[in-house]
């Protein structure tokens, strides 16, 4: 109690919680609100609402889900950082893939935390990014390091993989993307090399795991 009394004398860290799942959002709010050095600035259900809430509330730290309807987390991060280049944002996600993590960090996120680690690491992650430092889950950091020298998939290659994941044959992919069948085959060959796989099914599985595409 004495420690909490001391903490209440300083300005609490104001947190905006963004997640499209009400139960998870409520859980995050309840966890954070129990501690005297934090204050819930507000909540948002999707990326568009997060951008508006950030503009009006100006929280110290924003907790941002990645996969949400209407506007996803990465686009919301970019728009928030356009408003305030110093905005401190922690991504909360169930996906440890290195590609998605790198996109979020490039967009301007200061932290990247797996939802499975929330109970153990959430409060320290908020404190860390509020202090101007990065906070990345060890599993994600390891994945980024493991694939640091791998070739990155281009936007075209990811578009082709999404169509492959939907079960489209090369001819249909070529028609949808206004490419020749030989060009699609060439892209797939490059994809297999970059992902170190030998077939379409494995390519889709690896691309999903690493966050290049979503189903």
Are 169 and 126 found together in one domain?
A: no
Q: Residue holding tokens 């954070």?
A: 32
Is 215 part of any domain?
no
Give the DSSP H or E segment for 56: helix 47-57
Is 55 part of any domain?
yes
Residues 140, 119: Cα–Cα separation, whole Å: 17
Q: Which of 129, 146, 163 is the last residue of a domain?
A: 146
Q: Which stretches of 113-180 are DSSP H helices?
A: 118-130, 138-146, 155-165, 170-177
Residues 113, 65: Cα–Cα separation, whole Å: 10
The domain that holds 161 is classified in CATH as: 1.10.10.10
Q: State pLDDT tens for residues 38-90.
A: 999 999 999 999 999 999 999 999 999 998 888 989 999 999 999 999 999 99
Number of domains in the chain: 2
DSSP assignment string, 65-110: ESS-SSS-HHHHHHHHHHH-TT-EEEEEES---HHHHHHHHHHT-S
Helix, strand counts (H, E) of the chain: 11, 6
Q: Which of 112, 146, 180 is the last residue of a domain?
A: 146
Q: Which residue range is the domain that position 202 belongs to?
A: 155-210
Which conformational region is residue 91 in: left (phi greater than 0), alpha (psi within -120 to 50 degrees), or beta? beta
Q: What is the pLDDT of residue 1?
A: 45
Are 196 and 142 found together in one domain?
A: no
- To 5 degrees, how large is the angle CA 45–CA 30–CA 38? 95
Are 76 and 159 found together in one domain?
A: no
- Residue 148 confidence class, pLDDT cut points 50, 70, 90: low
Are 129 and 174 found together in one domain?
A: no
Reduced to 3 states (helix: H, G, I; strand: E, B; else coil), residue 134 is coil
Per-residue pLDDT for 107 more than 90? yes
- Residue 147 confidence class, pLDDT cut points 50, 70, 90: confident
In contact, 96 and 115? CB cutoff 8 Å: no
β-strand pairing of 38-44 with 13-18: parallel
Q: What is the pLDDT of residue 171?
A: 93
Are 139 and 169 found together in one domain?
A: no
Share above pLDDT 90 across residues of the chain, in percent, rounded to a whole number: 64
Which one has a higher pLDDT value, 139 or 28?
28
Reduced to 3 states (helix: H, G, I; strand: E, B; else coil), residue 113 is strand
Are 130 and 205 found together in one domain?
A: no
Q: What is the pLDDT of residue 213?
A: 82
Q: What is the pLDDT of residue 149?
A: 64
Residues 13, 48: Cα–Cα separation, whole Å: 23
């Amino acid at each position: 109690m004495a420690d909490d009394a001391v903490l209440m004398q300083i300005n609490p860290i104001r947190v905006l919680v963004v997640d499209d799942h009400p139960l998870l959002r409520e859980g995050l709010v309840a966890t954070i609100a129990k501690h005297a050095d934090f204050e819930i600035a507000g909540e948002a259900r999707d990326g568009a609402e997060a951008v508006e809430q950030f503009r009006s509330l100006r929280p110290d730290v924003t907790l941002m889900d990645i996969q949400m309807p209407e506007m996803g987390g990465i686009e919301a991060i970019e728009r928030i950082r356009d408003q305030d280049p110093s905005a401190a944002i922690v991504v909360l996600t169930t996906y440890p893939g290195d590609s998605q993590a790198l996109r979020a960090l490039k967009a301007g996120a200061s932290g990247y935390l797996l939802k499975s680690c929330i109970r153990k690491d959430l409060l320290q992650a908020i404190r860390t990014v509020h202090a101007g430092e990065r906070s990345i889950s060890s599993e994600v950091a390891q994945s980024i390091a493991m694939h640091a020298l791998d070739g990155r998939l281009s936007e075209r290659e990811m578009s082709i993989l999404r169509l492959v994941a939907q079960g489209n044959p090369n001819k249909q992919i070529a028609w949808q993307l206004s490419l020749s069948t030989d060009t699609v085959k060439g892209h797939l060959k490059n994809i297999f090399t970059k992902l170190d796989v030998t077939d379409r099914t494995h390519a889709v599985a690896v691309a999903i795991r690493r966050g290049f595409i979503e189903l």
